[in-house]
Amino acid sequence: MLRSRRHKLAPSRAGKLVVRKRADEFYLSKAWKDFGAGIIKARGRRCESCGKTREADGTPVKLVVDHTIERLDGGDDLDPGNVKLMCVREGGNGQPHADGVLGCCHPRKTAQARADRLRLL
C-alpha cells in the first residue's frame, strides 16, 4: 500500500503576510553611522520629542537619528539641522503623548509622514 507523501501544513495565518522591509543602503553606510554617533554624542542620549532617557526596564533609551524632513520628501542627508533623536520603544520615563502613551516617538512620526505622503498622491 502506498503512503501519502503530503506533509502536514502549518495552520494558515490568513491576512498575516509579513513583508520584510529592506534597509536603504544609505542608512547602512559608514557616513550615516558616524554622523548618527556624533549627533548622539553632541546632544546626549535623550529623545528630543518626549524627553525620554530610560526604557521601562531602566536601560538607556533606544534612539534613532530621524530626518525631520524625510529624504523621500527632499530632506538633506547629513545636515544636523534636519535630524532629531527619537525614541523607538513604548514606555519609559518620557512625557506622555495626547493619548497617554509614553515613548514610541519615531514609529509615530514615521507613520504620520507616510500617511501625509499618501494623502498627497
pLDDT tens digit string along 36-89?
999 999 999 999 999 999 998 999 999 999 999 888 888 999 999 999 999 999
How high is the pLDDT of residue 17? 67
**Residue 9 lies inside a defined structural domain of this protein:** no
**Cell numbers at 118, concatenated:** 499618501
Residue type, 40: I
Question: pLDDT band at 25, cuts 50/70/90?
Answer: very high
- Answer yes or no: is 81 within a domain: yes
DSSP string of 44-103, one letter each residue? -SS-TTT---B-TTSSBPPEEEEESS-GGGT--SS-GGGEEEEE-SB-SSS-B-TTS-BB
**Domain count of the fold of the chain:** 1
Q: Is the pLDDT of residue 1 over 90?
A: no
Query: Is there a domain that residue 14 lies in?
Result: no
Asked, for residue 92, whether it belongs to a domain, the answer is: yes
Smallest CA-to-CA distance from 69 within 96, 109, 39 is with 109
The three cell numbers of residue 43 are 546632544
Confidence of residue 18 (pLDDT cuts 50, 70, 90): low
105 has pLDDT over 90? yes
Q: Indicate the average pLDDT of the chain.
A: 85
Helix (H) or strand (E) holding 110: helix 105-120
Task: Check residue 14 and give its pLDDT.
Answer: 58
Average pLDDT over residues 21-44: 93
Judge whether 78 lies within some domain.
yes
In a domain, 113, yes or no: yes
Domain around 63: 46-120
Q: Would you say residue 7 has pLDDT above 50?
A: no
Residue 4 is assigned to a structural domain of this protein: no
User: For residues 83, 88, 90 and 93, what is the CA-based torsion angle, rounded to 10 degrees?
Assistant: -60
Question: Would you say residue 121 has pLDDT above 60?
Answer: yes
Is residue 57 in a domain?
yes
The percentage of the chain sitting over the pLDDT mark of 70, rounded to a whole number, equals 83
